[in-house]
């Protein structure tokens, strides 16, 4: 049985000025600093699965919220604002409840040019190409060799250039995706994401750190917070945690030693309980007291004589 053809792509390009894009800034202003993380997660799902669009429903909203570590209401708010500012196409969303855009489809076609089938469904197509382009490889369509030699040379150069560009953009794209995951893991997701991303990216490219190392440090920091019962006010924000390179810190995840309970008599204000005596015990005690007083009196009389 033939293996099903994968529609999605493994990497997608993300501009270094992504967080400075006016549309992104509008979404961030309206929905908060977690908006870029949600958007990157949405784009990752779009490019990974269908390649150029994503069905938007309650299940998808839940999965994105769960991936990012935020509420479904926050995700829904980001999606609605993104449609409003033009990050996603409003017409296709209204008609088919999908998230896509001209730019997404354009980047998909460029990244998937080597696929045997990179076609875009006609009812979703926003590229408005004038020539017929079904996205299917023409390797099975023979053409006249004499007329196509120069064309093949040009196509070969263009494909080589595309491959090189894809290779250059892949590390940056991977770092962006890693950062979005790490930011979503942090216990206090506020702060300057641009500066935080720059710091993380620089250290990764310099091979000072890896994704797994930073992930382990965030988990250790969260464990330390849990063990100490640290209040939110005293938890370092994600922005500072990244820019201050707190992945170099050591975190104490040792459970506190078990303390023996303090006995009642050692507690402040302790009052010893009064023991109630029976009449017989009181008679015995009184007899002992009388005998003690008699002996003391006899001793005094002897000394006096």
Contacts by 159-164 with C-beta closer than 8 Å and gap 24+? 159/113, 159/114, 162/110, 162/113
- The per-residue pLDDT for 136 is 40
| 79-93 confidence digits (pLDDT tens) | 999 999 999 999 999
Q: Where are the domains of the chain?
A: 1-126, 171-248
Residues 6+ apart with CB under 8 A from 283: none
Return the higher-pLDDT residue of 272 and 243.
243
Pull the structure tokens for residue 109: 């076609």
- Flag whether pLDDT at 187 surpasses 60: yes
- Flag whether pLDDT at 276 surpasses 70: yes
Q: How many CB atoms lie within 10 A of CB 15?
A: 12
Q: Residue range 142-150: average pLDDT?
A: 39
Pull the structure tokens for residue 238: 């994600």
pLDDT band at residue 246, thresholds of 50, 70 and 90? very high
Alpha helices in the chain (DSSP H): 22-31, 35-48, 58-68, 72-85, 90-96, 102-111, 145-185, 193-205, 211-228, 238-243, 279-304
Q: Is 55 helix (H, G, I), strand (E, B) or coil?
A: strand
The closest of 270, 271, 250 to 262, measured between CA atoms, is 270
- The per-residue pLDDT for 299 is 75
pTM for the full predicted model: 0.43
The closest of 97, 95, 103, 94 to 126, measured between CA atoms, is 103
Of 168-182, 192-206, 215-229, 267-281, give the range with the top mean pLDDT: 215-229
- Flag whether pLDDT at 289 surpasses 50: yes
Q: How many CB atoms lie within 10 A of CB 8?
A: 18
- Does residue 207 come out as left (phi exceeding 0), alpha (psi in the -120 to 50 range) or beta? left
Q: Residue range 8-35: average pLDDT?
A: 87
- The per-residue pLDDT for 23 is 92
In the predicted model, what is the mean pLDDT of the chain?
A: 81
Pull the structure tokens for residue 158: 């263009």
- The per-residue pLDDT for 52 is 92
- Flag whether pLDDT at 158 surpasses 60: no
- Flag whether pLDDT at 169 surpasses 70: no
Q: How many CB atoms lie within 10 A of CB 120?
A: 22
Return the higher-pLDDT residue of 137 and 73.
73
């Amino acid at each position: 049985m033939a293996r099903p053809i994968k529609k999605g792509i493994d990497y997608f390009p993300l501009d270094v000025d992504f967080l400075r894009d006016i549309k992104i800034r509008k979404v961030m202003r309206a929905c908060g600093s977690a908006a870029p993380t949600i958007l990157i997660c949405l784009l990752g799902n779009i490019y990974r699965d269908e390649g150029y669009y994503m069905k938007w429903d309650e299940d998808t909203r839940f999965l994105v919220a769960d991936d990012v570590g935020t509420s479904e209401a926050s995700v829904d708010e980001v999606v609605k604002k993104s449609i409003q500012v033009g990050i996603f196409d409003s017409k296709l969303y209204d008609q088919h409840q999908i998230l896509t855009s001209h730019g997404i489809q354009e980047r998909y076609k460029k990244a998937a040019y080597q696929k045997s089938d990179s076609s875009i469904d006609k009812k979703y197509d926003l590229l408005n190409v004038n020539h017929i382009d079904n996205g299917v490889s023409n390797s099975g369509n023979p053409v006249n060799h004499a007329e196509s030699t120069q064309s093949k040379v040009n196509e070969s150069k263009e494909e080589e250039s595309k491959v090189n560009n894809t290779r250059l953009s892949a590390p940056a794209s991977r770092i962006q995706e890693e950062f979005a995951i790490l930011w979503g893991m942090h216990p206090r997701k506020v702060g300057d994401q641009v500066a935080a991303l720059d710091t993380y990216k620089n250290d990764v490219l310099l091979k000072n750190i890896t994704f797994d190392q930073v992930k382990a440090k965030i988990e250790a920091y969260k464990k330390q917070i849990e063990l100490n019962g640290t209040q939110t006010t005293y938890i370092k924000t994600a922005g500072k945690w990244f820019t201050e390179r707190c992945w170099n810190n050591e975190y104490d995840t040792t459970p506190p030693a078990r303390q023996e309970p303090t006995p009642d008599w050692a507690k402040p204000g302790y009052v010893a309980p009064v023991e109630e005596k029976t009449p017989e015990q009181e008679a015995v005690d009184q007899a002992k007291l009388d005998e003690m007083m008699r002996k003391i009196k006899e001793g005094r009389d002897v000394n006096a004589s």
